[in-house]
Structure 1
């Protein structure tokens, strides 16, 4: 018997290829949603394969991980991977996205607004998501932790590889240019095929595929970046693909709690 996570990933993958082909998404049908809900309910009642709660990545930890990744980007191939992983971390956290949502996210799903914010069309195949739901990711005051800036920096790489291949990426990243300010307000790079995935696999030699990162690869990338930032093995083993969403939820609860305390003091 397969786990709910495996079934959900399969549905998300099927939806991705149907979307890329311009076909209706089977995962949005009522029968598929009902089948997943019933299976999840049965697992809960039977006590089978309990869900492992994700360890939240908090904003301070995320800041250290992103900073370490950028300091380690000493070659063009490492700079490409840093831009992808920084965008993955910051967009995933700011949008409270699951790893399956990050995996199937396409260029067409992300729109850049005039004020620099991102408007993300979330896939509707996962349990609990309303069909056609929209997530707004706001730019932050600190450009180093700005999710729209990180997304645009990675989009430059995607545009370069789609337009000119490996030589285009090398030309873009051959020098280590300082990231000194916001870039989210500048015009977004053009990508020829918006149906292609946002987050793509990168080979050891720097070649960037058109294949989407799998959920397992996203999980591994988060752990790899946490280890690079110097976190102990015990911490690295606890974080993973759902830690971004869990961290966003934890920070939101903390902010709401602080706001409530402030209202009680001043009310």
Structure 2
């Protein structure tokens, strides 16, 4: 890891990355792409040591409360968080000022902060997002080696369900010739139904590959799926969008399951739900000028 003093923390869309880089080792990680301008080794985590201070300053200046998002580019619960607790410090600030939260992770470490998630959700709205790609536990350990398994993430979703904290599942990316099967998709969907998730985000059955993450992905195909790299190159070349041959049938299964179980499925609709701030504090406060 290396520490930096950052100039800002919130994006124009009220998103933040407390860390830059990751040690989860997911073979498909788009955040490795060169276009993001990360000028350090991906596993050498950049720690924004002043992130909590910057966040507090930003929230103090906000005229209108909103939902703060985190986890889109770097998981807020990487291994370092156990020691540094920068994510927890930021959640404490969000809770203190009564803002909402949409937090995305692949780690059961989020359960450490259940007290704050519940408090935020009691005041406004807290949405916990979990990525689920691979129902088979052994395959999951190959594709996402240094993170909580799918079963462990499912257990997190159930804890959130039991505490009335809404959840959203990112069912993406799905890797052609690896986990783009009906058995895999139905297994994940069964988890989603049992956990009573609010929404599912799926952009399509496939993944994106561009300079930076393509090389890492192919390196891992050579290591774990012999011959598959050549199959990818033959079929997809250097395409950015790599779409599974099973796209249509699997998307149909996802949509039908969501409709049957009242789960929000449209990407725009899910994002709209997550960005919509809700005030839950119904206490009547009266002040008098003396």
> Do they fold alike, i.e. is TM over 0.5?
no
**Structure 1 length-normalised TM:** 0.30
Higher RCO structure, 1 or 2 (CA under 8 Å, sep 6+): 1
Point out the structure with the larger helix share: 1
In terms of fraction of residues, the more strand-rich structure is 2
